[in-house]
Structure 1
Amino acid sequence: MGFFLRLLVNALALYLLTRVYGGVSFAPATDLVSVLLAALVMGIVNALIRPVLLLLSLPINVLTLGLFTLVVNGVVLWLVAALTALNVAGFGGAVIGALVLTVISWVLDAAVRALGLDGGRD
């Protein structure tokens, strides 16, 4: 999937997250640029910081059979909220929001693949 398509899918997923789950919202009077910026920051944090967090939490992740990854995803969402116009209602809200965001992103990715918008690449 191309960079811009991935950015748009992530922006739509973040926007849908704020509509579905009340614990995550955008600041009042947020425009499309702020949503796209939040998606861009999410992509950067997922590419640079999340792998380090997963590596550092590997022992506890093995002990919890991978469930601690939800906490790491919550930390990532919380960090994105600290850097952008995204608001999260506490750390618990970030963990639940990350779980809902994962489901929304999965559905959107499947829709993009089903529509053939990803260029037919796996």
Structure 2
Amino acid sequence: MNFIIRLIVSSVLVMLTETIIPGVSIESWSSALWVVVALAVLNAIVKPILQLFSLPITILTLGLFSLVINAIIVLLAEYFVSGFVVGGFLNALFFSIVLSILQSVAGILIPSSKKK
């Protein structure tokens, strides 16, 4: 049940982020849901591979290159999800930053159902 709640909250946050970033467009709530699913799958499969290959440059930039990796993940999600349009690399970068901040705040505000 907690997974479904987090999925719905993340979809709402994606729609909110779409209103904040002018270069991002999402057609419908179902597209937002698919964006969340695509981002989750890409973060689980593609992101670790990109992080492994970019480890030297990530170390040289003191971790700032991870923002570029997040933007690449957003652009890949745009490729896979119809109804989700990102107007370039900078918009993808801002989208990933804003979405990360909103998800962090939501994670603090929404209690976890894990038992201690």
Change (3 A) 1:121 1:73: farther
Shift of 1:9: 2.5
Does residue 15 in structure 1 map to residue 36 in structure 2?
no
Match of 2:63 among 66, 70, 85: 66
Contact 2:21/2:91 (8 A) holds in 1: no
Match of 1:108 among 97, 106, 109: 106
Does residue 90 in structure 1 map to residue 102 in structure 2?
no
Residues 63-72 or 87-96, more deviating: 87-96
Contact 1:7/1:36 (8 A) holds in 2: yes
Unaligned 5+ segments in structure 1 are none
Distance 1:69 1:81 in 2: 19
Give the structure 1 partner of residue 36 of structure 2.
39
CA root-mean-square deviation: 1.7
Distance 1:5 1:57 in 2: 33
Change (3 A) 1:14 1:121: farther
Distance 1:3 1:77 in 2: 21
Contact 1:18/1:24 (8 A) holds in 2: yes
Shift of 1:2: 3.3
Contact 1:23/1:97 (8 A) holds in 2: no
Letter in 1 for 2:14: L
Deviations 1:72-122 (A, max 9, x none): 000001111111121111011111111111111111111112xxxx21458
Distance 2:96 2:24 in 1: 10
Contact 1:16/1:104 (8 A) holds in 2: no
Contact 1:9/1:109 (8 A) holds in 2: no
Length-normalised TM-score, structure 1: 0.85
Unaligned 5+ segments in structure 2 are none
